[in-house]
Amino acid sequence: MPQTTQTAPAPQAAAPPKPKPPEPPPEFQEGDIATMDAAALIRILTDASSPEFQKAKACQRAGELGPREAVPALSALLSHERLNTYARYGLEPIVDPSADDALRAGLSKLKGNLLIGVINSIGKRRDAKAGPVLAKMIYDADAGVARAAAAALGHIGGLSSMKELQAALVKTKGMTRMAVADASLVCAERLLVEGNRDQALALYASLSAPDVPKPARLAAMHGIIREETSTSRPR
């Protein structure tokens, strides 16, 4: 039989190189911010000509470093509509008390979402000095502020927070009351961790009242049962 010859496939043309993604405009370039020291970050944060993107990145870098000297520059941005969140990100990890002072000062200067953000940061830092102001804010006309203040008190914990939350549980209504009840549960857990078992059980008992929102009431009852049946409870 006659042999057939196979034709080799034609070589494929090499794929054209992929185009490089376009460079972002200068105002959206991070540059060396991720490796800057505190002094360089402060220069960006305090320079009125610095783009917001770079200031946001500088706030994030400050949060990684936690430099005390950056507190004034970060606190100045708490009133900025778009940079407030980044400024708080930078302030929250700073262990120096000046960061607490800066956030606490914002309680009397800010409103709306900016104020709520500062309250949340204070709760994360568990700044007990803010307790008296937060206790008043539970009754704020802005429901978001009221709920945030209650939650922050719960995270701060301690006997003072417990008393304020117990009082607010009687005086508040609706969603704010639910937030107070939830915060009280958090506060009770804090009291247990700190060794204040009797006070924690008393707070759980007040949350077990029939008129307390059902989720919080059931959680409080569970807390009482857990503590009373624990093998490590005081005898």
105 has pLDDT over 90: yes
pLDDT per residue as tens digits for the range 44-77: 999 999 999 999 999 999 999 999 999 999 999 9
**Based on the domain organization, do 138 and 189 belong to the same domain?**
yes
Predicted confidence band of residue 207 (pLDDT cuts 50, 70, 90): very high
CATH number at residue 48: 1.25.10
**Based on the domain organization, do 99 and 162 belong to the same domain?**
no
Residues 133, 164: contact at Cβ < 8 Å?
Answer: no
Residues 92, 121: contact at Cβ < 8 Å?
Answer: yes
Query: Does 117 map to a domain?
Result: no
- What values do phi and psi take at 113, rounded to 5? -65, -30
List the structure tokens of 74: 């970060």
Query: Does 112 map to a domain?
Result: no
pLDDT at 65: 96
Query: Does 98 map to a domain?
Result: yes
pLDDT at 21: 73
Q: How far is the C-alpha of 24 from the C-alpha of 190, rounded, in Å?
A: 47
User: Which among 76, 93, 96, 77 is positioned nearest to 85, based on CA atoms?
Assistant: 77
Q: How far is the C-alpha of 95 from the C-alpha of 194, rounded, in Å?
A: 21
**Look-up: residue for tokens 């190189």?**
17
**Based on the domain organization, do 80 and 154 belong to the same domain?**
no
Query: Does 186 map to a domain?
Result: yes
Q: State the alpha helices, DSSP H only, in 78-111.
A: 84-91, 97-106
Q: How far is the C-alpha of 210 from the C-alpha of 118, rounded, in Å?
A: 34
User: Which among 191, 184, 193, 174 is positioned nearest to 220, based on CA atoms?
Assistant: 184
**Based on the domain organization, do 132 and 229 belong to the same domain?**
yes
User: Which among 224, 205, 124 is positioned nearest to 162, based on CA atoms?
Assistant: 205
List the structure tokens of 235: 């005898």
234 has pLDDT over 70: no
3 has pLDDT over 90: no
**Based on the domain organization, do 63 and 154 belong to the same domain?**
no
Query: Does 208 map to a domain?
Result: yes
pLDDT at 230: 78
- Strand blocks (E) in 152-216: none
Q: How far is the C-alpha of 115 from the C-alpha of 64, rounded, in Å?
A: 23
**Based on the domain organization, do 51 and 139 belong to the same domain?**
no
Average pLDDT of the residues of the chain: 92
**Based on the domain organization, do 137 and 226 belong to the same domain?**
yes
**Based on the domain organization, do 136 and 62 belong to the same domain?**
no
**Based on the domain organization, do 99 and 38 belong to the same domain?**
yes
233 has pLDDT over 80: no
Query: Does 37 map to a domain?
Result: yes
List the structure tokens of 146: 């009221």
Per the model's pLDDT, the better-predicted residue between 20 and 155 turns out to be 155
List the structure tokens of 217: 């009431």
Query: Does 13 map to a domain?
Result: no
List the structure tokens of 177: 């009351």
Query: Does 137 map to a domain?
Result: yes
**Based on the domain organization, do 150 and 215 belong to the same domain?**
yes
Q: Into how many domains does the chain fold?
A: 2
Residue that is last in its domain, among 74, 106, 138: 106
Question: To 10 degrees, the CA torsion angle through 124, 125, 128, 134?
Answer: -40
**Based on the domain organization, do 137 and 102 belong to the same domain?**
no
- Identify the domain containing residue 40 by its residue range: 30-106
The pTM (predicted TM-score) of the whole model is 0.85
**Based on the domain organization, do 88 and 146 belong to the same domain?**
no
Residue that is last in its domain, among 72, 106, 140: 106
Residue that is last in its domain, among 75, 106, 137: 106
